Amino acid sequence: MSKVIRRDFLKGMAAVPFLGYFAFAFKGSIGEEAKGKSKDIYETLKINKLDATGQKLLPPTGMGEKPLRIGVVGNGWRGEQLLRSLGFTHPDFVEKNTIDGKYTRKLEEFLNQEDLNVEFAAVCDTFDVRTQRAVEIAANDLRPGGRKTPKPVKIFSSYREMVKSNEVDAIIVATPDHTHALIAIEAAKAGKHVYLEKPMTHTIEEAVELRNTIKSTGVVFQLGHENRQQMSFKIARELYQKGVLGDVSMVQTFTNRNNTFGAWIRDEAFDHKLGNESNINWKEFLAHAPWHEFDLKRYFSWQRYSDYGTSVTGNDFSHSFDCVNQVLELGIPETVVAIGGQHYYKTHGDMPDVMNAIFHYPNRKLTLTYDCSLKNSIYRQAKILGSEATMDVDRAIMIYKDGLSERYRDIKANASDPMYYYEPNTGVDAISSATSQAYLKGGYGPTYIDGQVVDATLLHLKEWVDAIRGKGETSCNVDVGFEEAVTFNLANLAYDSKRPVKWDAENEKAIIL
């Protein structure tokens, strides 16, 4: 391995996943030598083709049909990201990505992305600055598919007014966690389709109510885990189902960050400096949370407060859980224990910055673990530990044979070197910050499908839009969201109570032991 430069290896293999990458010193063509050395592992695994690697992009969405009118509730940083994937961006994005009169690659990719044939019809936000940015986004006519006559966005004073409007077909909810269920339930009851940012709900009780409401109304629901569109997890799922790993006994997930921004402290955010009591609707922000006097820390760093956020488990573990859940179909654990504390970032809220949680699945004969440190930035992939092999998985996949594997005993590979390696060629050569690297590696950036680099968020939104138009179903539906919401909330209950918590599946409630 020391003689193989990783970048050269990736260039040689491009985006093609392959089996049989051992600790050999390559002398000639990487592709040819890898091909020759992979024969025995192909035969051993009985894998001739991974169907996911041939996945095709679906045809363009809704061309010739009436545009789908979308309202956005919450136009913060995530709201703007979602709008960009839908084909709408703020003029300052254009300005930053135009150098000497030429568009950067980032802006070119935006202009070349698929036009989903949607209309940015409405917006509401508790912060006037963000509402104004939405107006400016709607007025910007530089969009995928060519220049179009911009249509003004309608401003609503609250989500309650928006969901009752006959000028809106579907809504995107990108608000603080404690309002997710509140808004989604009202929207569904009003017949509006819902794209809801993760995590699904603030509590288990809300998860039950929202799931029942979505099912009873029949609206199309998509939870915002765009990693559902990542090729790596699709391939990992196939490999697991083919029995490559053997008996899985443990799954490990991680969060590692080491700065205030990574700890969800937003004091330095540009809009924090613009906020005050005159341009923030504090009462609307609080919604049904306990009353508290106006506080900019609570408003902009709401993730750190249990009144509004869902702790490190809802912020980050929910992503990791959804990734491994789509590979293994774990569902809801039977018992959860958790321990940790707020030791370092004590100026904002009550969120722990060190936490360990264990989720027991006795019916699957395995445990899922979650380790979180907000005082260390090492990046760790999720690990799936099997009796025959271990899989590291995020945007990339590495599979290592177990040192005592019977199935792979004739495969001449060291346990420390991967016998399978997959990483898509996204064309991203450098990522500046550790947070950005973790974001990309975790599966939240582009993916590689049908020979193209595609924004995973765009694919996730497209899937929702297609389903609304009667073409297919959403991959992160309300049942999947329910599993996620219950699982991380069980961990929060275990952490708060300092007791094990058991899931009563029959009555759908948590029992503190």
The residue extents of the domains of the chain are 6-51, 228-262+301-453+478-512
Tell me the helices (H) and strands (E) count for the chain, helix number first. 18, 21
Q: How far apart are CA 253 and CA 165, in angstroms?
A: 42
Q: How far apart are CA 380 and CA 149, in angstroms?
A: 46
**DSSP per-residue string spanning 137-183:** HHH----TTS-----PPEE-SSHHHHHH-TT-SEEEE-S-GGGHHHH
31: confidence class by pLDDT, cuts 50, 70, 90: very low
171: confidence class by pLDDT, cuts 50, 70, 90: very high
Packing angle of the helix pair 231-241, 318-328 (nearest 10 deg): 40
32: confidence class by pLDDT, cuts 50, 70, 90: very low
8 Å CB contact between 443 and 227: yes
Q: How far apart are CA 446 and CA 428, in angstroms?
A: 9
Tell me the residue length of the chain.
Answer: 513
* Residue 6, token pair as written in the block: 């990783």
What is the bridge-based pairing of β-strands 102-103 and 98-99?
antiparallel
Rounded to whole angstroms, the maximal C-alpha distance in the chain is 71
What type of residue sits at position 262? G
Which is nearest to 272 in space by CA: 130, 176, 162? 130
Whether CATH 3.40.50.1000 fits 228-262+301-453+478-512: no
Q: Where is average pLDDT lowest: 81-90, 299-308, 435-444?
A: 435-444
- Per-residue pLDDT tens digits for 108-156: 989 999 999 999 999 999 999 999 999 999 999 999 987 677 789 999 9
- Please say whether the dihedral angle defined by the alpha carbons of residues 20, 23, 25 and 30, taken in this order, is positive or negative: positive
Q: Quote the pLDDT of residue 435.
A: 44
